[in-house]
């Protein structure tokens, strides 16, 4: 691991303990929450990109309401095309 990677990991760990001053954990516990956080952030980004693609293709629509997160729904006008897309990509 490079010095910059070690520095980043150290900063993440220190930031956690600063934000949670009562926290106490062993090495394995710290690794678990670091991996969980990393996985969640990666999955959020992947999901955000996939939703944007599905909206761009018209398979989903997005409804926005003031004060609430957007809601995603199947575009009924594109259902047949969506089913064809899924059938074509199945193993």
Q: Examine the domain organization and report whether 9 and 36 are in the same domain.
A: yes
How many domains would you assign to the chain? 2
pLDDT for residue 1: 64
What does the longest C-alpha to C-alpha distance in the chain come to? 54
Supply the range of the domain harboring residue 31.
1-57
Q: Examine the domain organization and report whether 49 and 19 are in the same domain.
A: yes
Q: Examine the domain organization and report whether 48 and 18 are in the same domain.
A: yes
3-state secondary structure 11-71: HHHHHHHHHCCCCCCCHHHHHHHHHHHHHHHHHHHHHHHHHHHHHHHCCEEEECCCCCCCE
pLDDT for residue 91: 65
6-10, long-range: CB < 8 A, 24+ apart = 9/34
Q: Examine the domain organization and report whether 51 and 89 are in the same domain.
A: no
Q: Examine the domain organization and report whether 25 and 39 are in the same domain.
A: yes
Q: Examine the domain organization and report whether 15 and 51 are in the same domain.
A: yes
pLDDT for residue 49: 94
pLDDT in tens, the chain (91 residues): 677 778 888 888 888 889 888 989 999 988 888 888 888 888 988 999 999 999 999 999 998 888 888 899 999 999 999 999 989 976 6
């Amino acid at each position: 691991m490079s010095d910059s990677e070690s520095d980043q990991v150290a900063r993440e760990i220190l930031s956690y303990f600063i934000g949670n001053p009562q926290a106490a954990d062993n090495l394995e516990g710290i690794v678990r929450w670091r991996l969980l956080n990393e996985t969640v952030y990666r999955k959020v980004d992947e999901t955000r990109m996939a939703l944007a693609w599905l909206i761009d293709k018209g398979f989903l629509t997005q409804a926005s309401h003031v004060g609430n997160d957007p809601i995603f729904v199947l575009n009924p006008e594109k259902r047949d095309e969506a089913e064809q897309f899924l059938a074509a990509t199945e193993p």
